[in-house]
Amino acid sequence: MQDFKLYFDLGWYHILDWQGYDHILFLLALCGIYTISDWKRVLILVTAFTVGHSITLALSVLNVVHVNSALIEFLIPVTILITALSNILNKKPKPKAIRLKYTLALFFGLIHGMGFSNYLKSLLGKSSSIVVELLGFNLGLEFGQVLIVFGVLLLSFILVTIIKIKRWDWNFFLSSAIFGISFVMAAERVHAILN
């Protein structure tokens, strides 16, 4: 049980670490356009993302899938860029666009899971029994994600409902800023996959 708590703590520390802010940016892009009243949509989005990254985190750590880490580190900001761009282009989301967003969240979760796995593999070393560690780390990641999503929804609620910023203005500002940051991140990482 001590290992579980250790890896749980490592999981949520990892997701909240500002040095690895790419995952925080993705959650901002994914949920930042919603407020607390949209909690059902956000729950579905985050669940889709969670399912995706849980699958590849497990498969990668168990050495079932092997993917070039430079490619994954490049694809993570690309997922952020696409998510932010879709927020900007879909001023009034239609049902088909919302279903597409859920599908993309699941697919992008697969990519992010491989990014998390590099960190977890470095912690595990040559350990032979990793089920408890994997479960603890994954649940820790989820706990950290819940904290981020709650904070983002609360911020959006305050800005849109209390301060009365137009929802589209907030969406456009946040998504544009995230698009710019993720574009720079992707550009900086592209050379690593070309070498």
Sign of CA dihedral 163, 166, 172, 175: positive
pLDDT in tens, 154-172: 999 999 999 999 999 999 9
Is the distance from CB of 46 to CB of 145 less than 8 angstroms?
yes
Please list, residue by residue across 141-172, b when 16 or more beta carbons sit within 10 angstroms of its beta carbon and e when fewer do: bbbbbeebbeebbeebbebbeeeeeeeeebbe
Say if residues 82 and 141 touch (Cβ distance below 8 Å).
Answer: no
In the DSSP assignment, the letter for residue 38 is G
Domain that holds residue 36: 2-194
What whole-number distance in Å separates Cα of residue 117 and Cα of residue 44?
23
Number of separate domains in the chain: 1
Looking at the predicted structure, is the pLDDT value of residue 128 above 70?
Answer: no
Alpha-helical runs (H) found in the chain: 2-16, 21-31, 39-61, 69-89, 95-124, 131-157, 167-194
pLDDT in tens, 26-77: 999 999 888 888 888 898 898 899 999 889 988 888 888 888 889 999 999 9
**Confidence band of 88 (pLDDT split at 50, 70, 90):** very high
The tokens describing 191, both together, are 């050379």
Question: Of 80, 89, 93, 97, whose CA–CA distance to 30 is shortest?
Answer: 80
Q: Which two tokens stand for residue 140?
A: 């820790």
Q: Is the pLDDT of residue 174 over 90?
A: yes
